[in-house]
């Protein structure tokens, strides 16, 4: 069986390589550039919509980086970078970190984070049209454009039951739910075995306040990306697997089952 397994693995590698070549040729013919230098997208959605569930899957599929605004700020402050020190001064004084600092942090990550060579997922930014314009300007300086602005849409009423049971792995941002998506072991991350936490603001009253702010901020940003033609809305009230299939459709992989490798493997 060992010889057969090795040969099958070799054939899988060959077919995967061929499929990659075919995909590049198809993209070249259609003018699509998604794989030339990775995926470039923003993930929009209210607290509890499932960004923490879907972003790691996108990251794994495209070998890209997941840049969540809060995580970036904490990382830069912890590293005591120039931007981190500036941000800390502002936050310690109770102020809001400026758009220029956040854009600078994103630029820093794209330049120095090896994971970002495969592209990026932005989560929590931009939150205003001015931020969206600044992001476009920064990418234009690198001769790049944002490819996707995906909004995970869900009724506010459904979010209360979702978010009050949410459990988070702080280091990775992976999220679970005590009822709908529980970890294999109670309050323990499936991959690392590290403890999960429940955020202090994950309660019904705090959520309602956050949703009011979210909708006020997000509506203009969604309008901005609708006008640029890269916005796509996805029904986030579906099961996580169905949401993932919808995301694959956005990336043009909805017909993956027709690939050569999937026919051989039955996946």
Catalytic residues: 51, 127, 166, 199, 210
Core vs surface per residue 70-95: b (16+ CB within 10 A) or e: ebbbebbbeeeeebbebbbeeeeeee
Q: Is residue 85 a known part of a binding site?
A: no
Q: Which two tokens stand for residue 34?
A: 């998604």
Q: Is residue 67 a known part of a binding site?
A: no
Q: Is residue 226 a known part of a binding site?
A: no
Q: Is residue 49 a known part of a binding site?
A: yes
Q: Is residue 70 a known part of a binding site?
A: no
Q: Is residue 175 a known part of a binding site?
A: yes
Rounded CA-CA distance 165/160 in Å is: 9
Other C-beta atoms lying within 10 Å of the C-beta of residue 205: 8
Q: Is residue 126 a known part of a binding site?
A: yes
* Residues contacting 242, CB < 8 A, separation 6+: none
Q: Is residue 69 a known part of a binding site?
A: yes
DSSP E strands: which ranges in 84-239?
A: 119-123, 148-153, 166-168, 175-177, 231-235
Q: At what angle do helices 129-141 and 99-112 cross, to 10 degrees?
A: 40
Q: Is residue 199 a known part of a binding site?
A: yes
Q: Is residue 229 a known part of a binding site?
A: no
Largest CA distance in the chain: 65
Q: Is residue 74 a known part of a binding site?
A: yes
Binding site listing for ATP: 48-53, 166, 175-176, 238
Binding site listing: 48-53, 69, 74, 95-97, 124-127, 131, 166, 175-176, 199, 210, 238
Binding site listing for AMP: 69, 74, 95-97, 124-127, 131, 199, 210
């Amino acid at each position: 069986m060992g010889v057969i397994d090795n040969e099958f693995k070799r054939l899988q590698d060959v077919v995967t390589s061929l499929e990659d070549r075919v995909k590049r040729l198809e993209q070249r013919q259609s003018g699509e550039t998604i794989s030339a230098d990775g995926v470039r997208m923003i993930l929009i959605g209210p607290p509890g919509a499932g960004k923490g569930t879907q972003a790691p899957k996108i990251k794994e599929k495209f070998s890209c980086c997941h840049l969540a605004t809060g995580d970036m700020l904490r990382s830069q402050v912890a590293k005591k970078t120039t931007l981190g020190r500036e941000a800390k001064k502002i936050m310690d004084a109770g102020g809001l970190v400026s758009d220029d600092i956040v854009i600078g942090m994103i630029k820093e990550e794209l330049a120095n984070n090896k994971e970002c060579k495969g592209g990026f997922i932005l989560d929590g930014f931009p939150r205003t049209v001015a931020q969206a314009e600044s992001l476009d300007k920064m990418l234009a300086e690198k001769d790049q454009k944002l490819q996707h602005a995906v909004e995970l849409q869900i009724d506010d009423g459904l979010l209360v039951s979702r978010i009050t049971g949410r459990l988070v792995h702080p280091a990775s941002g992976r999220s679970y739910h005590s009822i709908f998506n529980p970890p294999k072991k109670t309050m323990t991350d499936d991959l690392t075995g590290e403890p999960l936490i429940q955020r202090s603001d994950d309660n019904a009253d705090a959520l309602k306040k956050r949703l009011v702010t979210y909708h006020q901020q997000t509506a203009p940003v969604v309008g901005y990306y609708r006008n640029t033609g890269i916005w796509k809305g996805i029904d986030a009230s579906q099961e996580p697997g169905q949401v993932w299939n919808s995301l694959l459709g956005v990336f043009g992989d909805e017909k993956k089952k027709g690939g050569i490798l999937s026919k051989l493997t039955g996946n």
